Amino acid sequence: MDDNKRKLWVNGQFIEVSEKVYQVYMQGDRKMRYFEMNLKTERTILAEDGTVQQIIPGREDSLDRLIDDNAGQFSDAGESVEDAVPRKLAEDELHRALEKLTDEEYWAYDSTSASSYSESLRQVKYGRNKDGEKLLQINLALIFGENSGLPF
């Protein structure tokens, strides 16, 4: 082999190339690694004393990174349909009950929550009970009539 010949490992074998071809190949290889790794991952630039001077974020987002950053670009800030429908039905029921009251009758409103260990019910949401424990629960509200003592 000549002094100006180099070897490259390509497709499972060594091939002999000139110094110029070797340099161009290595530049291309470095450029490929740059696109594959350096652009995708964030880089930290340190000052001479070892402190973080600058963090350059990666140019590619992954699901893990979005979750870690609590990225809200796809989140819906409004009320979900699953929550809105039961609330609207409860409001309609309240209005119907109020229409049944006479001017002389009063009504009492009572609310409570019932804990549930079922994670499959859409109506249960996390809340805190009287002991401060965070549990799945359903909130209930009832209106009682003065004369009947029954809920509407």
Residues 33/39, Cβ–Cβ less than 8 Å: no
Range among 10-14, 32-36, 132-136 with highest mean pLDDT value: 10-14
For the cut 80, the answer to whether the pLDDT of residue 7 exceeds it is: yes
Question: Which is higher by pLDDT, 89 or 67?
Answer: 89
pLDDT of residue 16: 92
Residue 8 has a CB neighbour count (10 Å cut-off) of 14
Average pLDDT over residues 98-109: 72
Its pTM stands at 0.29
Compute the distance between CA of residue 69 and CA of residue 44 in angstroms, rounded to an integer: 17
pLDDT number for residue 41: 75
**Residue 17 and residue 15: Cα distance in Å, rounded?**
6
> Domain locations in the chain?
1-38, 44-75, 81-145
